Amino acid sequence: MTRQTVHLSWIFLLLLLLSSAAMARELPDFTVLVEKYGPAVVNISTKQKAQAHSQLRLPPGVPMPEFPEEGPWGDLFRHFFGNPGEMPDHPDREEARSLGSGFVIDSDGYILTNNHVVEGADEILVRLSDRREVEAKLIGADKRSDLALLKVEASGLPVVKFGQGDQIKVGEWVMAIGSPFGFDHSVSVGVVSALGRSLPSESYVPFIQTDVAINPGNSGGPLFNLDGEVIGINSQIYSRTGGFMGLSFAIPVDVALDVVAQIKDKGYVSRGWLGVLIQDVTRELAESFGMKRPAGALVAKVLKEGPAAKAGIEVGDIIVEFGDKTIDASSDLPPVVGRSRVGADTRVTVIRNGKKQSLTVRVEELPKEEELTLAEGKPAKSSDNALNVTVADLTPEQRKELGLEKRQGVIVQQVEEGPAQEAGIRRGDVLLKLNNVDVDNVAHFKRLVGELPAGKSVPILIQRRSGPIFLALRLPK
């Protein structure tokens, strides 16, 4: 190697080191943000009395047989008998615990988290950054946005500051703090991958997509920008393994603040409703409708007596503007309508027969889920009742097959351990009368169950293929 070659090699190495140092200086430093706002992040655990899993039990004194750990036979034994040594001391009841994150939004003790972290909890425990553990009260929750507002009896707590949802940009650095797998105040960083993502189960939330590592336990924790402002609430991940795979979704801050304000003001969250079923406009559909490019939300169905029907919106219309918002994809419409003020007259621009047309629609309040499914022509379904039974509305085909002329009854889809099972109700039974009152539909059934007296037997008329039969039902005291 010549002296000149050695000299050039040293120059190249020096330039490489200088370049690496410059790049390191350009990477964001999150240490100050963690020190300043990390104390506002809390760990949330819950306690819930839940029904034990339905498993077969061997007779008293009969030992559990040995079975292979791996393979299909092992899976089969575990499915029916559970794992050895894991049966609860009290087989009828077991205590379930969930773990998540949250953050303090008000120094008086208001805490924001995900609804699924605290849903169904009998007790909510919050562990603060100073290691204190306090019980929290659920102020209100919203299932559609997956948000819940808690309150603890404390003052002078460290709080976060909020950013603005319309200032978020794809590619900007973001940071999450939470308790993945129970490891308190874990920090992970990444960038915003996309905005306005619509997920199948949450059409009213335009999610922020990030590549920040989010795992079980991060749910409900804050997503910070480089200014230390909360711009989202970490809520979901896309995963085939149950762990992080590079796709995380956060609820935008503006959605969260609107939910918090409504819960504080009236105890529940109302949303605007248009009363249409929509689909995307594909390239082929755009061409068939005489459009230059795919855009808007194609109306596939207009619900009777809904706001859209009253405004003159028709099947085949393509909604391209709602108020001052451009609707570029069908997923853009539900969040925009949902955040519209109920009762407000809003201009809607549609493409009909290849021409733009302006209509005025008066936004109504989004109905409850049971009412909405009935309006859409789908059988409503419910498992949230004291009988611990899942029921659904009968389809016209089921009604015809059972010979039921009038609109009456709900069909049993699943029976868990509880009053319905003890009464002898089975899957496939049609519940016709409850406490001598005709059962109209799922919503009516839930209301009737809620009115049942505790500790007293009431008659329930069911229809089986063998014919109608009365059973005696008793709710525990």
CB burial of residue 430 (10 Å; 0-12, 13-18, 19+): buried
When pLDDT is cut at 50, 70 and 90, the band that residue 234 belongs to is very high
Rounded average pLDDT over 256-269:
91
Spatial CA neighbour of 54 closest among 418, 416, 427: 416
Do the first three CATH levels of 39-152 and 161-266 match, i.e. the same topology?
Answer: yes
What are the tokens at 212? Answer: 């920040």
What is d(CA 196, CA 403) in angstroms, rounded to the nearest whole number?
48
Centre a 10 Å sphere on the Cβ of residue 414 and count the other Cβ atoms it contains. 12
When pLDDT is cut at 50, 70 and 90, the band that residue 77 belongs to is very low
Alpha carbon of 355 to those of 291, 297, 305, 350: distances in Å? 9, 15, 26, 8
Per-residue pLDDT tens digits for 244-261: 777 899 999 999 999 999
Rounded average pLDDT over 272-284:
87
Chain-centre distance of CA 94, in angstroms? 25
- Of 146, 254, 258, 429, which is the active-site residue? 146
Task: Specify whether domain 161-266 bears CATH 3.10.105.10.
Answer: no
What is d(CA 427, CA 423) in angstroms, rounded to the nearest whole number?
13
Of residues 417 and 115, which shows the higher confidence score?
115
What is d(CA 191, CA 171) in angstroms, rounded to the nearest whole number?
5
CB 444 within 8 A of CB 422: no
For the chain, percent of residues with pLDDT exceeding 70: 79
| pLDDT number for residue 17 | 60
When pLDDT is cut at 50, 70 and 90, the band that residue 80 belongs to is very low
Domain 273-365, CATH homologous superfamily name and number? PDZ domain (2.30.42.10)
219 is catalytic: yes
Give the DSSP H/E element, type plus range, for residue 13: helix 3-26
Overall fold of domain 379-474: Pdz3 Domain (2.30.42)
CATH architecture of residue range(s) 39-152: Beta Barrel (2.40)
- Of 219, 235, 248, 330, which is the active-site residue? 219
What is d(CA 213, CA 33) in angstroms, rounded to the nearest whole number?
18
Centre a 10 Å sphere on the Cβ of residue 187 and count the other Cβ atoms it contains. 17
CB 235 within 8 A of CB 114: yes
What is d(CA 428, CA 411) in angstroms, rounded to the nearest whole number?
6
Spatial CA neighbour of 332 closest among 236, 211, 195: 195
Chain-centre distance of CA 270, in angstroms? 16
CB 317 within 8 A of CB 350: yes
What are the tokens at 128? Answer: 């603060």
What is d(CA 433, CA 459) in angstroms, rounded to the nearest whole number?
8
What is d(CA 382, CA 431) in angstroms, rounded to the nearest whole number?
13
DSSP class of residue 88?
-
| pLDDT number for residue 246 | 78
User: In the chain, where are the structural domains located?
Assistant: 39-152, 161-266, 273-365, 379-474
324 is catalytic: no
146 is catalytic: yes
Give φ, ψ of 316 to 5 degrees: 100, -15
pLDDT at 53 over 50: no
Single pTM value for the model: 0.67
238 CB-near residues (< 8 Å, 6+ apart): 245, 247, 248, 249
Rounded average pLDDT over 356-365:
92
What is d(CA 130, CA 111) in angstroms, rounded to the nearest whole number?
16
Specify the amino acid at residue 312: G
Of residues 368 and 82, which shows the higher confidence score?
368
What is d(CA 210, CA 222) in angstroms, rounded to the nearest whole number?
13
